[in-house]
Amino acid sequence: MAVKGLGEIDGTYDGSQIRVGIVHARWNREIIDALVYGAIKQLKKYNVKEENIIIESVPGAYELPFATKCMFNKHNVDVVIPIGCLIKGSTMHFEYICDAVSSQLMKLQFEINKPVIFGVLTCLTEEQALQRAAISPGMHNHGEDWGACAVEMVCKWKGYY
């Protein structure tokens, strides 16, 4: 199954036995909702059961790394997709939050030895975010890529970590 944006999938993956956590920020709600929906849609295409998709929310993107760690502990999931959307403003806030969140999510994978899918948009404009959430007509929803990535990472690597 090819997924636009991800390239050609290198195998056939069955997510029917996978538990997936999605933790999302509440900022930029229209964009976040579309991305979460896209991830769920793709997870279901890979046979992840609805009862095995656990969704939680946090106030903002800065809280995603801690909440991601808690998702593994609280819900015993195989993979977490933290979803957030940062849009550059007129201060350095954007740069600090982007750096902190991305660094901590990457680091977390190696601390807990389970995959964390980077589902945080870091956009220079609101229009870029709308495009990546497929709210702008004719665009691709990156949440779908994250859902497919979650299934592939668990199916391909579980047992090796």
Q: What is the pLDDT of residues 86-145, one digit of tens each?
A: 999 888 889 999 999 999 999 999 999 999 999 999 999 999 999 999 998 889 999 999
Strand positions, DSSP E, 4-78: 20-25, 53-58
Phi, psi of 19 (to 5 degrees): -105, 125
In a domain, 2, yes or no: no
- Give the model's confidence band at 160: pLDDT under 50 very low, under 70 low, under 90 confident, else very high: confident
The enclosing domain of 70 has a CATH number of 3.40.50.960
SS3 category, 85: strand
Residue 68 lies in domain: 20-157
The b-or-e profile of 46-84 (16+ CB within 10 A means b, else e) is: bebeeebbbbeebeebbbbbebbbbbbeebebbbbbbbb
Place of tokens 């807990």: 112
Q: Let me know if residue 13 belongs to a domain.
A: no
- What does the pLDDT read at residue 62? 97
* 105 and 116 Cβ atoms separated by less than 8 Å: yes
Q: pLDDT digit string (tens) for 5-46?
A: 556 677 789 999 999 999 999 999 999 999 999 999 999 999
The pLDDT of residue 128: 95
The answer to whether residue 1 is domain-embedded is: no
Q: What residues does 80 pair with on adjacent strands?
A: 21, 116
Q: How many domains does the chain have?
A: 1
Residue 116 belongs to a domain: yes
The whole-number pLDDT of residue 99 equals 96
Q: Which listed residue (75, 93, 140, 142) is catalytic?
A: 93
Residue 151 clears pLDDT 80, i.e. is over it: yes
Residue 140 among the catalytic residues: no
In tens, the pLDDT along 56-97 reads 999 999 999 999 999 999 999 999 999 999 999 888 889 999
Task: Give the helix/strand (H/E) hosting 82.
Answer: strand 79-87
Q: Using CA of residue 153, residue 115, residue 50, residue 135, what is the dihedral sign? A: negative
In-domain check, residue 41: yes
